[in-house]
Amino acid sequence: MIAELTISEIILRQRKLFNTGKTKDINFRIAQLKALYDSVAQNEAAIVQAMKADLNKPEFETFASEMVMIFKEIDYAIKHIKTWTKPKKVDVPVQFFPASGKIYPEPLGVVLIIGPWNYPFQLLIAPLIGAIAAGNCAILKPSELAPHTSKLIADIVSQIFEPAYITVVEGDAEASKKLLAEKFDHIFFTGGTAVGKIIMEAAAKHLTPVTLELGGKSPCIVDTDINLEHTARRITWGKFINAGQTCIAPDYILVDKKIKDNLLDKIQKYIKEFYGDNPAQSPDYVRIISQRHFDRLTSFLKDGKIITGGENNPTERYLAPTVIDNVSWNDDVMQEEIFGPILPVLEYTDISEAIAQINCRSKPLALYLFSNNKNLQERILQETSSGSVCLNDTVLQVGVSSLPFGGVGDSGIGSYHGKSSFDTFSHYKSVLSNPFWLDLKWRYAPYEGKLAFLKRILG
């Protein structure tokens, strides 16, 4: 954090550097991406330690969900950046002959990236990769709810990049408020829908475009035509990694009544297999980020019937992996994104009714369907809307760089990962070039006698 400068001065300094054109050089961008990769690799132990301090996150999850994602995104960007940055020739209608057209990708300028607390390293650095690849300067705002990771990010960034290029601003909501009062060329925010509305309102005052990576209640539909063991294991994994504090975690199960009991038995089996008889003692189970979030989550335990879990310890902010049956659509646990280790279960007898229930709610960030039935798969794809869909698995779609990641409706605006990250932080400038060697007079006044010709060439 550059304490001696005001927010306005930090932005001004970055604009001065951007205006030199330094960040537009392709070799410069590649060098910065490589430096970022090397620094993340060199700081692996420190990243693991920070995650442990903030979330009690096990080393395996830190490496798999934070660091590997970064390595893959950087590799993908370096591999494709020269193709992404090339002007693209486009067809021009014959009436414009001999003109030619091209589209030039250009960086936006100075961008603001605001990160969340649940994956506090990866979800701040991943969009930065796109900003660097596109040639921008950037200000990063880590979440104050993960203070150890926030401090580490500030240290790493200050060691790699000159502050006029990329800077970290730490602090609480007041720091965010000061940042949002300024004009940026783009704001990228990952977090909850309520804060996303605040971000969008602040950005609107400056006509600043935004990317909002939000969340929502991601449904998990379970059909009868499945491999029950694999289904239960994959749902259990996707729901309870990071103690459910994952924006695309299955928020609730919507299961065919005929197999509900069998599915619940298997989920309980895998919770025990993953975390033991007492998950509080497991080295692989994460804690809730703050007391406020812990209190919100435990308030949901009154709904339905707890099949397994429910144990909690406010001192440690521990909440056991919990499955709740006999839940209704009107219960509190079904009114907002859970974002924690509570899995409500609802049943259906008619898939049309299940689809209708999903469609009468806000569009989710992800939708999961477990079924071998190709017709049902196609029906779900055609009759529902969500940011992404994963068939017969959970969460994995976020790790594929060639798949854009983002929401729709209340679950977000815009997307990133791979080429989509480059696109998000780029402006595609249209350029028409008309040579001097031919200059037909049909478009110039006087127009007498030219209308029939114009209609012919346009026909």
Bridge pairing between strands 366-370 and 388-391: parallel
Residues paired with residue 342 on neighbouring β-strands, in sequence order: 322
Residues paired with residue 391 on neighbouring β-strands, in sequence order: 369
Q: What are the catalytic residues?
A: 213, 247
> How is residue 335 written in tokens?
């009114």
Return left, alpha or beta for 207; rule: phi > 0 is left, psi -120 to 50 is alpha, else beta: left
- d(C-alpha 265, C-alpha 89), whole Å: 58
> How is residue 449 written in tokens?
């006698």
DSSP H stretches of helix in 319-418: 351-359, 374-383
Pair 310, 281: CB distance under 8 Å: no
Bridge pairing between strands 219-222 and 366-370: parallel
- d(C-alpha 200, C-alpha 209), whole Å: 8
Q: For residue 356, what are the contacts with CB-CB under 8 A and spacing of at least 6?
A: none
Only one residue has tokens 């779609």, namely 397
Per the omega criterion (within 30 degrees of 0), is the bond before 98 cis?
Answer: yes
> How is residue 177 written in tokens?
């408020």
Phi and psi angles of residue 439, each rounded to the nearest 5 degrees, phi first: -145, 85
Residues paired with residue 103 on neighbouring β-strands, in sequence order: 88, 430
- d(C-alpha 202, C-alpha 21), whole Å: 28
Greatest Cα-to-Cα distance within the chain, rounded to the nearest angstrom? 90
- d(C-alpha 330, C-alpha 349), whole Å: 19
Quick one: how far is CA 238 from the chain centroid? 16
Phi and psi angles of residue 188, each rounded to the nearest 5 degrees, phi first: -115, 120
- d(C-alpha 309, C-alpha 320), whole Å: 5
Pair 157, 141: CB distance under 8 Å: no
